[in-house]
Amino acid sequence: MCQKESDNYREGKLSGDLRIQVESHLQQCIECAGIYSIELLADSIINQEKEVSPAKDLTDRIMDRIESLEERGNVISNPFIRILQPALIISSVAAAIFFGVMIGNIYKPAGTVYSRPVELSLIDDAAIESVNMLSNE
């Protein structure tokens, strides 16, 4: 019961008999009292952290950073550009690879150019009978 109600007790939400019961239990039970004290400490740490203020010159630091960003041309960015930028980079790389392969295929070193023998060029492909026609004879 004490563990269940300790949050409410700590936050001052308990009243009447329940409050008295929790108080008397905390006086008797060492374990519950210990856990209650560490919960109080947790609350106090949170309160202390809440009281910490930002650096006095923080506003100036932020404004200086913004000024230097603007000087470098890093102005308020358009969300479309933010999305398009990586897409443009990827498509540029893909285009470069594609044209590289294309150009590579067009180029043929002089020594490796395949020349058709003259005899083969004389063969009239149209005159060759199909295998099917021959097999029917």
Q: How far is the CB of 102 from other proteins (least distance, A)?
A: 40
CB 34 within 8 A of CB 60: no
User: Could you tell me how far CA 92 lies from the centroid of its own chain?
Assistant: 22
Our CB check for other proteins shows the closer of 80 and 107 to be 80
Q: How far is the CB of 54 from other proteins (least distance, A)?
A: 4
Our CB check for other proteins shows the closer of 65 and 94 to be 65
Query: Which residues of the shown chain bind other proteins in the complex (CB under 8 A)?
Result: 3, 6-7, 34-35, 38-39, 41-42, 44-46, 48-50, 52-55, 58-59, 61-63, 65-67, 69-70, 74, 76-79
- What is the distance between the alpha carbons of residues 68 and 87, in angstroms, rounded to a whole number? 27
User: Secondary structure of the chain: what % helix, strand, coil (to 5)?
Assistant: 75, 0, 25
Our CB check for other proteins shows the closer of 38 and 95 to be 38
Our CB check for other proteins shows the closer of 24 and 74 to be 74
Alpha-carbon separation of residue 114 from 22, 68, 107, 117, 119 (angstroms): 99, 62, 13, 9, 15
Provide the sign of the torsion angle of the four alpha carbons 94, 95, 96, 98, taken in this order: positive
Our CB check for other proteins shows the closer of 3 and 24 to be 3
Give burial (CB, 10 Å; 0-12/13-18/19+) of 62: exposed
